[in-house]
């Protein structure tokens, strides 16, 4: 059917406007392809989650054995589980790079778009934490015990919240049932937020490397950027296949090959790599309530970038000072992640306690440098 006749169909107008006629800046770099990569990874994660849920048994006695059954007895179960496991790491790599790009090019000028982006990050981390606990492995069991038990520091209602999340007085079968329900529900909420995010992004328009706002320097999204998105996505799939078939346990901890044992505590409790910077901030605070506040504020502070009070004409990192602040902040996050992966001993404890206030200091400096 000719393109002109397709436009007359109501069902295709929105798709054509989004994928074909959308006016896009002519100078977008590969960093802007991360949005399409994230959408592809998110949808594929939801599909594999549905298949894995068919064979998973959410009980403390059978959860670990059901994952072993998926790997050994279910046809191509090992492939689906390894895909789901490693693709989560690739998803967070792309998500962190996407947020880094948005922070570098001051994409918070649209408060609604930025707020939804931060909310998607928080919900994605919550979903990943739930997935981490479900196999009922040694490291994931104790990570859930430590993290959820922190909520008991909340005045008045803290202990009630912990017992409600656990279902009992420790991580057990009711906990796995609750986590499975939330793990199945949250991705659909994330997809809804992604749809809202895309619609708002098309309304307020995207930034670009040179911060040019002129509508004269734009091209249709089709063919130029669709082919670029497909090309980048194929590269990511190639890297994912390499990890999947040659190093499937690259992002896994050896303790997670052991069934959960409530009587044996691991020497060092370490979460997945994409939680390390937040867990490092948490461990640097001696007070229990302070740890809860630090953990929440390490992500909630990004909401401070969204108000419309910022200079609407400021877009790109035009000053040397902002570049120094930004890249110093990125290195602080990397160092926090590396330090949390190391044993809890000196001098790592001192460096961790030094870098935690630096995390907030440099992020606040970036915030005020944009006013």
Is 65 catalytic? The answer is: no
- How far apart (Å, rounded) are the C-alpha atoms in residues 274 and 21? 37
In contact, 260 and 64? CB cutoff 8 Å:
yes
Catalytic residue from among 84, 112, 218, 228 = 228
In contact, 288 and 153? CB cutoff 8 Å:
yes
Q: Which of 145, 130, 138, 148 is nearest to 84 (CA)?
A: 130
Q: Which of 249, 271, 250 is nearest to 142 (CA)?
A: 271
Q: State how beta strands 23-25 and 218-220 pair.
A: antiparallel
Both tokens of residue 200? 């708002």
Catalytic residue from among 36, 44, 84, 202 = 202
- How far apart (Å, rounded) are the C-alpha atoms in residues 251 and 261? 22
Catalytic residue from among 272, 284, 298, 306 = 272
Is 89 catalytic? The answer is: no
- How far apart (Å, rounded) are the C-alpha atoms in residues 144 and 154? 17
Q: Which of 30, 33, 34, 31 is nearest to 91 (CA)?
A: 34
Query: Of all helices (H) and strands (E), which one includes residue 25?
Result: strand 23-25
Separation in Å, CA 150 to CA 146, 154, 159, 167, 295: 6, 8, 9, 16, 10
Burial class (CB in 10 A: 0-12, 13-18, 19+), 369: middle
Catalytic residue from among 206, 211, 252, 337 = 206
Is 206 catalytic? The answer is: yes
Is 228 catalytic? The answer is: yes
Is 7 catalytic? The answer is: no
Catalytic residue from among 24, 124, 197, 229 = 229
Separation in Å, CA 263 to CA 5, 133, 134, 266: 69, 17, 19, 10
Return the axis-axis angle of helices 77-104 and 320-341, rounded to nearest 10°.
150
- How far apart (Å, rounded) are the C-alpha atoms in residues 272 and 258? 16
Angle, CA 190 vertex, CA 188 and CA 193 arms, to 5° = 115
As annotated, the active-site residues are 202, 206, 228-229, 272
């Amino acid at each position: 059917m000719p393109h002109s006749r397709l436009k007359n169909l109501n069902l295709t107008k929105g798709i054509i406007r989004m994928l074909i006629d959308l006016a896009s800046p002519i100078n977008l770099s590969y960093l802007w392809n991360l949005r399409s990569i994230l959408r592809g990874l998110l949808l594929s994660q939801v599909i594999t989650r549905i298949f894995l849920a068919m064979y998973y048994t959410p009980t403390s006695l059978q959860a670990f054995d059901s994952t072993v059954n998926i790997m050994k007895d279910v046809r191509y179960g090992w492939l689906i589980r390894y895909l789901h496991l490693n693709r989560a790491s690739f998803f967070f790599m792309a998500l962190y790079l996407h947020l880094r790009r948005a922070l570098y090019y001051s994409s918070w000028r649209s408060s609604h778009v930025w707020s939804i982006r931060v909310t998607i990050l928080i919900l994605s981390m919550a979903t990943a934490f739930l997935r981490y606990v479900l196999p009922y492995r040694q490291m994931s069991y104790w990570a859930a015990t430590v993290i959820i038990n922190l909520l008991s520091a909340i005045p008045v209602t803290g202990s009630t919240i912990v017992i409600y999340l656990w279902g009992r007085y420790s991580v057990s079968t009711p906990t796995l049932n609750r986590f499975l329900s939330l793990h199945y529900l949250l991705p659909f909420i994330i997809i809804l937020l992604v749809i809202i995010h895309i619609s708002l992004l098309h309304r307020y328009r995207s930034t670009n490397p040179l911060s040019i706002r002129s509508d004269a320097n734009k091209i249709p999204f089709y063919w130029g950027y669709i082919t670029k998105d497909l090309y980048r996505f194929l590269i990511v799939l190639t890297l994912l296949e390499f990890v999947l078939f040659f190093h499937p346990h690259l992002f896994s901890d050896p303790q997670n090959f052991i069934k959960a044992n409530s009587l044996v505590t691991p020497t060092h409790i370490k979460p997945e790599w994409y939680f390390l910077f937040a867990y490092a901030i948490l461990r640097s605070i001696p007070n229990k309530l302070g740890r809860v506040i630090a953990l929440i504020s390490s992500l909630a502070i990004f909401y401070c970038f969204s108000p419309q009070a910022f200079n609407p004409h400021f877009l790109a990192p035009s000053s040397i000072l902002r570049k120094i602040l930004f890249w110093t902040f990125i290195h602080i996050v990397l160092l926090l992640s590396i330090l949390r992966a190391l044993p809890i001993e000196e001098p790592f404890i001192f460096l961790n306690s030094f870098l935690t206030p630096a995390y907030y200091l440099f992020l606040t400096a970036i915030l005020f440098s944009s006013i």
